[in-house]
Amino acid sequence: MLDLRAHFSRFLNADPERLHFAAHSHHPWPDVTREAQLEAWDDAARLIDDKWGRILGPVLDDFRRHVAGHLRLPDPSTIAVAPNTHEFVRRILSCFPADRPVRILTSDGEFHSFTRQITRLEEDGLVAVTRIPAEPFATFDERFRSAAREAHDLVFVSQVFFNSGFAIDLDGLADHVGDAMLVIDGYHGFMARPTDLSRLASRAFYLAGGYKYAMAGEGACFMHCPPGWGLRPRDTGWYAAFRNLAKAQGGKVAYSEDAWRFMGATFDPSGLYRFNAVMRWIEETGLTVAAIHDHVLALEERFLGHLDPASGLRPEALVVPPQESRRGNFLTFDMPDAQQTYERLKTLRVVTDVRGNRLRLGFGLYQTYEEMDELIRRLGGSAG
C-alpha cells in the first residue's frame, strides 16, 4: 500500500480532522504545486511581458509532453490548452455550418459543461440531439455504436461517466462514427485509468484537465486536436493564428494548422506551472497511472469490505457494481436519501459529493488504509 501523504502535507494539515473523499471533484494538490505557483509569480516579476515567451514556449512544451506521454499520443503539438473545457466545447460547436441544425449524438450521462450548452442551443433549434441512455451499462457500447452509424455531425461521449463512474470501451469507437467529428470527454479518465489514444490520435478529439486526477487545480485544461478536423472554428481567439499572424488565407481570417487553431486568448498560466510540477513529481516518484488506479481499487475494496449496513451505504446500492472493472476512481451510491447522507457525512467531517439521488465517494493517492478505517469508524462500523 502506497503512503504518499507526506507529499500532500499542505492540504492535509490545513484541516487534520477532515476526511476528503471527493478526489473525483476537487483533488488535493501535492506540495510541489505551491512552489510551482510561486514560480509562476516570480517569472511574471522577472520577465513581465516577456513571460509569455517562456509560458508559450518551454512551459507549454513541457505541459504538452506530459499529456502526450500519459495518453500515448505520437505528437505533442496536437495539444491545445484553455482555462476550462467549456471553451473547447464552444469552439467544437462553432466548427459546423450555420445553415442547418448540427446533428449531435451523445449519451444522457454527459457533464454539465456539454449538456447545458447543447440543451440551450436545442431550445433555439440550432442543434438536433440524439441521447443514448447510459444504462444499462452492459449494452451501452453496442447501443451507442449502433446509433453512431446514422448520419451525425458530432459524436460526443465521456470516457468515464461523471454521474456513475462507468468506463466505456474506446477501442474501435472511431470505426462506427462515419464522417462525424468524434469528441471524447476524458476528464474522469485522464490520470485515473490507463489510457492509450495511439489508435485514435488521428481521428478523435480528447479533452480533460488538471482539476481532478492530475492534481493540479483549475485553469489547466487541454484538448488533443487530430490533424485535419475542425480547421476554422468560428469561436476563435487571437492565439488561434499565433504562428500565422502575418499570413492571410485567401482574404479570410487566418488559422494555424496545428492545435493552435483551437487556442483562445490571454489566460492565467499558473495552472500550467502546477500541472508540470505534478507531472515531474509523478515521474520522479516512479508512479504510473496503472499504479494509481490499482491503489484506488485497493482502497475501495477495503472500504466496501467493512461497510456496516447501519451506515446507510450498501454495496448493492452501487450504480457500478464493485466487480465491474470498467469504472473510474470513485464509487457512486444510488439512494433516495443521498442528500441527507451527504449532509450527515459533512457533520462527521467527511467530504463527499451528491448529485440528485447519487452520492459519490472519490479516492486518491493521499489516502491509505488508515483513512479507510477512520471513515468506517465514523460511519459506525468496524475495520476489523
Task: Output the pLDDT for position 252.
Answer: 86
Distance CA(137)–CA(203), nearest Å, equals: 25
Q: Which residue has the cell 481567439?
A: 237
Q: Domains in the chain, start-ordered, CATH in brackets?
A: 5-30+288-378 (3.90.1150.10), 33-282 (3.40.640.10)
Task: Output the pLDDT for position 88.
Answer: 98
Residue 346 has pLDDT above 70, yes or no: yes
Distance CA(26)–CA(34), nearest Å, equals: 16
Model confidence at 16, pLDDT cuts 50, 70, 90, reads very high
- Bridge partners (DSSP) listed for residue 360: 332, 353
C-alpha cell at 374: 477512520
Mean pLDDT for the chain?
94
Residue 186 dihedral angles phi and psi, to the nearest 5°: -100, 15
Strand duo 204-209 + 181-185: pairing: parallel
- Bridge partners (DSSP) listed for residue 167: 160
Range 365-384 average pLDDT: 86
Residue 246 has pLDDT above 80, yes or no: no
Distance CA(365)–CA(27), nearest Å, equals: 10
Give the Cα-Cα-Cα angle 59, 39, 213 (nearest 5 degrees).
65
Residue 249 has pLDDT above 90, yes or no: no
Contact 354, 360 (CB under 8 A): yes
Share of the chain above pLDDT 70, in %: 97
Model confidence at 243, pLDDT cuts 50, 70, 90, reads low
Model confidence at 242, pLDDT cuts 50, 70, 90, reads confident
> What's the pTM value of the predicted model, to 2 decimals?
0.94
C-alpha cell at 244: 500565422
Residues 6+ apart with CB under 8 A from 310: 380, 381
Q: Pick the most confident of 201-210, 246-255, 316-325.
A: 201-210
The count of other CB atoms within 10 Å of the CB of residue 185 is 27
Residue 317 buriedness (CB in 10 A; 0-12 / 13-18 / 19+): middle
Q: What is the pLDDT of residues 38-52, one digit of tens each?
A: 999 999 999 999 999
SS3 assignment, position 5: helix
C-alpha cell at 360: 459519490
Residue 383 has pLDDT above 70, yes or no: no
* 40: nearest Cα among 216, 269, 219: 269
Give the Cα-Cα-Cα angle 152, 158, 160 (nearest 5 degrees).
155
Distance CA(310)–CA(240), nearest Å, equals: 56
Distance CA(182)–CA(204), nearest Å, equals: 5
Distance CA(210)–CA(85), nearest Å, equals: 11
Q: What is the pLDDT of residues 91-124, one digit of tens each?
A: 999 999 999 999 999 999 999 999 999 999 999 9
Task: Output the pLDDT for position 241.
Answer: 87
Task: Output the pLDDT for position 1.
Answer: 82
Range 211-229 average pLDDT: 97
Q: What is the pLDDT of residues 185-200, one digit of tens each?
A: 999 999 999 999 999 9
Task: Output the pLDDT for position 251.
Answer: 75
Query: HSE of 148 in the Cβ direction (CA atoms, 13 Å)?
Result: 24
Task: Output the pLDDT for position 381.
Answer: 60
Residue 359 has pLDDT above 70, yes or no: yes
Distance CA(283)–CA(275), nearest Å, equals: 12
Model confidence at 28, pLDDT cuts 50, 70, 90, reads very high
Higher pLDDT: 161 or 312? It is 161
Contact 363, 302 (CB under 8 A): no
Model confidence at 250, pLDDT cuts 50, 70, 90, reads low
CA distances to 5, 29, 326, 342, 355 from 332, rounded to whole Å, are 25, 23, 13, 12, 10
Distance CA(15)–CA(74), nearest Å, equals: 42
Residue 247 has pLDDT above 80, yes or no: no
Range 302-322 average pLDDT: 90
Distance CA(343)–CA(355), nearest Å, equals: 13
